[in-house]
Amino acid sequence: MDTKKFIEEKMSEIRQRAGSAKAINALSGGVDSSAVTLLGHRAIGDRLKTVLIDTGVMREREPESVVEIFKRIGLTVHLIEAQEEFFRALKGIIDPEEKRKAFRNTFYIVLGRAVKESGATFLLQGTIAADISETRRGVKTQHNILEQIGIDPQIYGFQVIEPLRELYKDGVREVAKALGLPQEIFERMPFPGPGLATRIIGEVTPERVAVVRKAVKIVEEEVEPLKPFQAFAVLLSDQATGVTGSEEGRRSFGDIIAIRSVESRDAIRAEVTEIPWELLKKIQKRIVAEIPSVNKVLYDLTPKPPSTIEYI
């Protein structure tokens, strides 16, 4: 791919399509939405408003740090604090698909409000080729975004622009790098839209998010030198028996954390990372030492297929 040419073409496409209208995009800090944010601002400047929705299920300090990164490159990101709204919507839900649906609906309600307030008629989206092929194969569902946010495109003349739809993850990383995004963005591990909610089996509560958030941070820190495609931790719904303290027989029930690390090019297929045994033991030790509710740590050995990368 001629990255420079791609960027020029996409910028002129955004300019042509948007004309003098306003546009909006939702940034997560992932490489896809970051690349779109920069492409959009280069193309139409301040006529693009960028928002970051704090869903309450992002990684530790992620919303603030993404806003800071973009501030350093001269772009204003409007932070929308919607944590409580998401937790209310997710309360009591155990079924994985219901959880995704509740997350998605809340996301679009919040984004819909932001769109209406902004007066934008274009929505810039970081959809990539893998999203489209997974939707076609029925692995994931991609809903009509405009309907979801309560906008009838025929009435509002509203349009979606998806400049990255031909690219896979590695292509997006090249574009992000060529656009001048910092390394912490163009090398960022993929992180799903529904965030830590995809890494919790069973109910998503602020307390359970706090557990998995700490475990995810430990795994990311420890495997960083191996540069896997994706590595994270998952909080299972069962509890396991453990013995705590020095007195034998002091039995307790504790949380179970699964570690997952995979290698992939496009997220369509993935192999398990062969993490050295010593490193796995170190991760296990840190997790049980730093998260008191956890007394069992597992390593997931399953490639995709038959597994998916995430757990819901």
Instruction: Give me the residues that bind ligand XMP (CB under 6 A), please.
Output: 139-140, 190, 192-194, 198, 230, 267, 304, 308-310
Minimum distance from residue 253 beta carbon to ligand XMP (Å): 28
CB distance 220 to 230 below 8 Å: no
CB distance 204 to 90 below 8 Å: yes
CB distance 178 to 170 below 8 Å: no
Minimum distance from residue 238 beta carbon to ligand XMP (Å): 21
Q: Which is nearer to ligand XMP, 76 or 105 (CB)?
A: 105
Minimum distance from residue 28 beta carbon to ligand XMP (Å): 8
Whole-number Å distance between alpha carbons of 147 and 149: 5
| Residue environment code for 93-120, b if the CB has 16+ CB neighbours within 10 A, otherwise e | beebeebbbbbbebbbebbbebbeeeeb
Minimum distance from residue 102 beta carbon to ligand XMP (Å): 12
Minimum distance from residue 267 beta carbon to ligand XMP (Å): 4
Whole-number Å distance between alpha carbons of 192 and 67: 18
Whole-number Å distance between alpha carbons of 30 and 33: 6
Minimum distance from residue 131 beta carbon to ligand XMP (Å): 7
Q: Which is nearer to ligand XMP, 198 or 295 (CB)?
A: 198
Quick count: other Cβ atoms within 10 Å of Cβ 80? 18
Q: Which two tokens stand for residue 63?
A: 């919303």
Minimum distance from residue 116 beta carbon to ligand XMP (Å): 23
β pairing state of 122-124 and 159-161:
parallel
Minimum distance from residue 194 beta carbon to ligand XMP (Å): 5
Alpha helices by DSSP H, listed for the chain, are: 3-18, 31-44, 62-72, 83-90, 96-118, 129-136, 145-148, 153-156, 169-178, 183-186, 206-223, 277-290
Cα angle for residues 302, 307, 308 (degrees, 5° grid): 120
